[in-house]
Structure 1
Amino acid sequence: MQIDWSKLFSYINGFADRKTIEEVESWREKDSRNEEFYRRTRDYYANSPTRNESFSEGQLDILYKKMLKSKRGRKRRALWQRTTVAASVILLLSAGVWWYYTGNMHDESKAHVPVHAAEVIIITESGDKFTAKQLDSGIARQVADNKLEYSARENTSEEDAARVEKQVPRHTIIVPRGKTFELVLADGTFVLLGPSSELTYPVQFDSCSTREVTLRGEAYFEVTKSSNRFAVNTERMKLQVYGTTFNVFAREKMPVEAVLVEGRVGITPENGTEETILHPGDMYSIDEAGDIKVMQVDLAEYKAKRNGYVLFNGKTIEQIVRSLELYYDVDFVHEGVVPDTREYVFSVKRTSSLREVLDVIVSVADVKFVIDGKEVEITRK
């Protein structure tokens, strides 16, 4: 192709440097067909900025050359309707070490959600299923496409005494692969649920008992301070806090982990009685055999998550793509071992498209990717 995709993309979205601007404008002036292609690319990204995962750049080059050979505008327009443009921009913060993608070039609020991804579902105790939009507005309200907020209430001793004899209704929220979801519980506790995660929780809290939830998957908690403890149950451990910030990772066939970001938390193994107290920066890990480890970790990864980023802090390509499978609902495949075993540090906006994330990896690693629907093949460059 006569113009680099990333340069054209940065020019269209208004963050190109002077040299790139001059190069793109010179390219536009060379041929009327270049100008036409530019206008269609600009309009395409304005109307649908995230549909760029279907083609490799090699395929796009072929389509572009076909368009240049076309003599009729109608034929070119028909071709354009079948074309999706893959391009991204990378901001280098530290050569080969720290890459930071701001994600502010254009609105991609749903870029990480596959077109046919399942909905986030809320299941009531009676077994009824609702989406966030369908849930009774008297119980909770949807405050954003990916955020649900439960109604707070004033606790009174009379109400609480009456509720001792009555079980508080509980909901279960299920977040599928390819999505994340924010939840504000009735006590004001904020929960950021990761892809392929499930949380069970009471629709209201009272002052007579522990605030208790059950997690499968991954979640980031900011617990509202209260005289009552807040407890998180997982398959292998129970966390208890009064008010604090922490991240819990509880997926099948993997060690269950809890990382304390702020405050103080106590953890008890499922089949044990001894409580371990964590301090900020501590990670508690327990594997399938019941072996427990406590170590200090860098909190940047967890703070980035709260701010809308996914940070890979010293991760191999193998570890990175396993996380991307959850966030983008795709499967990465490769023959044998991934050739690049070095560790990388970079972050991407959680709403970035898959193509953009892969472009960042390709720029620093000795691998390349071919996207075919929901399957991504990894090969050596």
Structure 2
Amino acid sequence: MSLNIQQGDNRPFFMDKERLADIIDRITSNTATDEDLAAYNAWCDAMQEQEPEINNLAGLESRTWKKIRQQTGLAPKPKVVGWRIAAAALLTGVIAGSVLLFRHSGDKQALPAASTVAAMPHDIPSGKNTATLTLANGKKILLADVQQGKLAAQTGSEISKTADGTLEYRPVSAGTAATPQYNTLSTARGEQYQITLPDGTRVWLNASTTLTFPTSFAGMNTRQVEVNGEAYFEVPGDPAHPFVVLTNRQRIKVLGTHFNVNNYPDEPFAKTTLLEGAIKINDQKVLQPGQQAISSANGALNITKVSTEGIVAWKNGYFEFNDENIYEVMRKIARWYDVEVIYEGNIPTNGMEGTISRFENVSKVLHTIQQAGLLKFRIEQKKIYVSQY
């Protein structure tokens, strides 16, 4: 396969994918020849004139290419060899289908990744789309075990499993129960799921998450639900009936918006991130798109600007790390692969930045991290051991 990029004079520049990967490996290991550097610099020149056709990079999505350009500055700019080498290292990961960097004393060091990764012993597959629905009467429905179609009828709603494997509540009458009925949708470690609530709100649940909600919002002044774990919401507007999400550290009030709630008990902070619209946190702060509300255990609330794409990467099938240390990274991995993590000895806490598919076996994710040369891993049954390299 060749990477075909139009130069400024409209002459195509061809670089074989395997050759490019070999050159980048030599650049990052300081063994590149003058010929290697000349070839790579010519490729960079062509790349700056016009983006490569996305289809020529197998499996590369436009969102990934956009992120790479943002991180490396791949746009017309002064020719700086240091920039070229940083871009080269990052592009190695792109060709492999993932990218990961470590931060050392404020500098980013690239992590090369092989296009194929040998599985570690006792490999563990990724999580799956399933959950458990607990009805108001205590009955539990394992959603992996049921076929599409109607599952149950409750006051004000009919529950169905859709053709695409999600759960849907459909209002069937305007009547209300004397006492509201509440259901709970829960994902275990290694599970994720999606539900449409009676008002049309769509919710994505990450692993180890519970969502408690009424079977009907009819007759209620507010549409109120409770979340523990992590969930992404798309709420339709209804000014007369605000939507409220309760967690143990935040009260989130919205009229119609898209936002992500991260409230895991093993995380030091509860974080709510706004993508669209406006929300109010704890009846105090109003967030604007791109802002995140961070609550600590002592009740302190801080607002910060964040990259929303990274926050909801889990919903789109990726791990995306933004200057996160190994403990933060491994908490995500432990929840998604349903494993126990054991640390041995002194563990470096350098920040990681990068993107890896959530649907790879855990060995490929660990191998990618391990290639930085700071950490090593071994898998024994459902345990991952982490130690210094």
Paired with 2:216 and 2:160, the residues of 1 have a C-alpha distance of 14
Structure 1 residue 351 displacement after superposition: 1.9
Question: What's the counterpart of residue 49 of structure 1?
Answer: none
Q: Normalized per residue, which structure has more strand?
A: 2
Question: What's the counterpart of residue 358 of structure 1?
Answer: 366
Alignment partner for residue 121 of structure 1, among 128, 132, 143? 132
Cα distance change of structure 1 residues 225 and 98 upon mapping to structure 2, 3 Å threshold: farther
Question: What's the counterpart of residue 151 of structure 1?
Answer: 170
Question: What's the counterpart of residue 79 of structure 2?
Answer: none
- The 5 A counterparts of 1:64-79 are none
> Is 314-323 or 367-376 further displaced after alignment?
314-323
TM-score if structure 1 supplies the norm length? 0.64
Question: What's the counterpart of residue 255 of structure 1?
Answer: 269
Q: Which amino acid in structure 1 is aligned with residue 214 of structure 2?
A: P
Question: What's the counterpart of residue 77 of structure 1?
Answer: none
Question: What's the counterpart of residue 33 of structure 1?
Answer: none
Structure 1 residue 94 displacement after superposition: 8.3
Give the SS at the match of 1:180.
strand
Alignment partner for residue 202 of structure 1, among 214, 221, 226? 214
Paired with 1:171 and 1:262, the residues of 2 have a C-alpha distance of 27
Alignment partner for residue 345 of structure 1, among 353, 358, 361? 353
- Check the 8 A contact 1:90/1:360 in 2, yes or no: no
Question: What's the counterpart of residue 296 of structure 2?
Answer: 287
**Could you list the per-position Cα deviations for residues 143-170 of structure 1 after superposition, in whole angstroms to 9, with x for gaps in the alignment?**
36863222245x7xxx3xx42x623322
Cα distance change of structure 1 residues 256 and 229 upon mapping to structure 2, 3 Å threshold: same
Structure 1 residue 337 displacement after superposition: 3.1
- Check the 8 A contact 1:99/1:346 in 2, yes or no: no
TM-score if structure 2 supplies the norm length? 0.63
Give the SS at the match of 1:112.
coil
What percentage of residue pairs aligned between the two structures are identical?
26
Q: Any unmatched runs of 5+ in structure 2? A: 1-15, 21-94, 102-108, 117-123
Q: Does 1:319 align with 2:319?
A: no
Alignment partner for residue 252 of structure 2, among 220, 236, 239? 239
Paired with 1:100 and 1:243, the residues of 2 have a C-alpha distance of 42
- Check the 8 A contact 1:281/1:298 in 2, yes or no: yes
Give the SS at the match of 2:364.
helix
Cα distance change of structure 1 residues 97 and 264 upon mapping to structure 2, 3 Å threshold: farther
Q: Any unmatched runs of 5+ in structure 1? A: 1-15, 21-88, 104-109, 269-273
Q: Which amino acid in structure 2 is aligned with residue 113 of structure 1?
A: G
Question: What's the counterpart of residue 378 of structure 1?
Answer: 386
Structure 1 residue 304 displacement after superposition: 2.3
Q: Which amino acid in structure 1 is aligned with residue 280 of structure 2?
A: G
Cα distance change of structure 1 residues 188 and 310 upon mapping to structure 2, 3 Å threshold: farther
- Check the 8 A contact 1:247/1:258 in 2, yes or no: yes
> Is 284-293 or 193-202 further displaced after alignment?
284-293
Paired with 2:113 and 2:236, the residues of 1 have a C-alpha distance of 31
- The 5 A counterparts of 1:256-271 are 256-268=270-282
**Could you list the per-position Cα deviations for residues 215-263 of structure 1 after superposition, in whole angstroms to 9, with x for gaps in the alignment?**
1111111112223211101112211101111111122263222111111
